[in-house]
Amino acid sequence: MLDERVLTISGEADIVTARQAARQFAAALGFNAMDQSRITTAVSELARNVVRYATNSHGVVHVRETEAGGRIGIEIVVADEGPGIADTEQAMRRGFSSGNGLGLGLSGTGRLMDEMDMKSAPGEGTCVTIRKWRR
């Protein structure tokens, strides 16, 4: 049976909670220390984006087990009802930042994971899905 955890983000302390949950989940699925670090860091970046940019810093994180072609993976969906992003490709590009960061958050998240998709439109919130497959 595939397992799932759901967490609500409503402030900065939840960034820590989200990454702890992601690390525990990844460890339980048998990801090695290197991949646990990648997954935890990716979740930290996405959770921080929610706290920084979403309306009332509110968002929801789903952490779940996934399977495809006989492979076991972890899938994390981070969704918010914030202002949304008009150009998701630009947002995922290295060096792009709308805030005061270095623009490494989203592009870096993509490099740490095997797959990342982002769905967003102005006024319609943002939903980022990331996956990593166990080797």
Binding site for another protein (CB under 8 A): 12-13, 15-16, 19-20, 23, 33-34, 36-38, 40-41, 44-45, 48, 94, 101-102, 104-105, 107-108, 111-112
Q: Which is nearer to another protein, 37 or 66 (CB)?
A: 37
Query: Which residue's CB is nearer to another protein, number 58 or number 124?
Result: 58
Residue 32 or residue 121: which is nearer to another protein going by CB? Answer: 32
The least distance separating another protein from the CB of residue 121, rounded to whole angstroms, comes to 25
What letter represents residue 118's amino acid?
A: M
Closest separation in Å from C-beta 62 to another protein: 20
Would you say the C-alpha torsion 133, 54, 56, 50 has a positive or negative sign? Answer: positive
**In whole angstroms, how close is the CB of 55 to another protein at the nearest point?**
19
CB of 70 to another protein, least distance (A): 26
Q: Which is nearer to another protein, 20 or 66 (CB)?
A: 20
Task: Using the minimum distance from each CB to another protein, give the nearer residue, 23 or 131.
Answer: 23
Sign for the CA dihedral angle at 87, 131, 1, 24 comes to negative
Instruction: State the minimum distance, in angstroms, from the CB of residue 60 to another protein.
Output: 20
State the burial class of residue 40 (Cβ atoms within 10 Å of its Cβ: 0-12, 13-18, 19+). buried
Sign of dihedral through CA atoms 81, 46, 113, 106? positive
